[in-house]
Amino acid sequence: MQAFLISTGVVALGEMGDKTQLLALLLAARFKRPGPIMAGILVATLANHAVAGWLGAGIATWLGPSVLRWVVGLSFLAMGLWMLVPDTIDEEPRTVGRWGVFGTTLLAFFLAEMGDKTQIATIALAARYSELAAVVAGTTLGMMLANVPAVLLGDRLAQRLPVRAVHAAAALLFALLGVLTLLGAGDRWLS
């Protein structure tokens, strides 16, 4: 349960103001069809985070407990710093075309998550916790908690959300997880 709850919280906070949340706002404003957009986000996130979780679990098996503690701890600290860098959306999806709203969202979200903070966080969390399904479920729930309101409330939410404060809180959480990991807190999960 700890892996699920931490994964949910870390990604929900980390996703605030992230480029994929900006993408959710953009898609909602453009297509005005929240159902297929939310479904596309869910499927894309499940696929992307399952791959990231599998990679993280493989890294944990390959490295061994002492090296893993340093890699994961330093990764969390790096994620904390990365959270302080604001994201921007590179380009807007041009047209829906033959893919429809669901397919456009699925493809856009899957690609936008590649190498993104939340994907890297999923890798680190899966390396940290042995419960792969709990990590993937938690990171996916965190992604949905951050993006569903963006889809439903659109621009009104973006104008009122204290993105800097949320990013600072997420950076602090990642830093805390990094320090605790480096100090050996929770070593029983690493072995």
Is the pLDDT at 191 greater than 50? The verdict is no
State which residues form the domain around 162. Answer: 2-87+99-190
Residue 94 lies in a domain: no
Residue 52 lies in a domain: yes
Is the pLDDT at 50 greater than 70? The verdict is yes
Residue 38 lies in a domain: yes
Each residue of 98-156: pLDDT tens digit?
A: 668 898 889 888 888 887 778 888 988 888 888 999 999 999 999 999 999 989 886 56
88 or 73, higher pLDDT: 73
**Mean per-residue pLDDT of the chain:** 78
Residue 6 lies in a domain: yes
- Which range of 4-8, 16-20, 31-35 scores highest in mean pLDDT? It is 4-8
Each residue of 146-166: pLDDT tens digit?
A: 999 989 886 565 556 565 666
Q: Into how many domains does the chain fold?
A: 1
Residue 35: the pLDDT is 93
Q: What percent of the chain has pLDDT over 70?
A: 70
Per-residue pLDDT band for 43 (boundaries 50, 70, 90) equals: very high
**What single-letter amino acid sits at 65?**
P
Residue 93 lies in a domain: no
| CA dist 98 → 41, 44, 64, 68 (Å) | 18, 18, 47, 45
Q: What is residue 130's DSSP assignment?
A: S
Per-residue pLDDT band for 79 (boundaries 50, 70, 90) equals: low
Residue 56: the pLDDT is 83
Q: Which of 40, 59, 60, 38 is nearest to 48 (CA)?
A: 40
Angle, helix 34-63 to helix 19-31, in steps of 10 degrees? 160
Residue 138: the pLDDT is 95
Question: Cα separation of 25 and 12, whole Å?
Answer: 16
138 or 33, higher pLDDT: 138
Here the tokens at position 187 are: 């070593």
Residue 92 lies in a domain: no
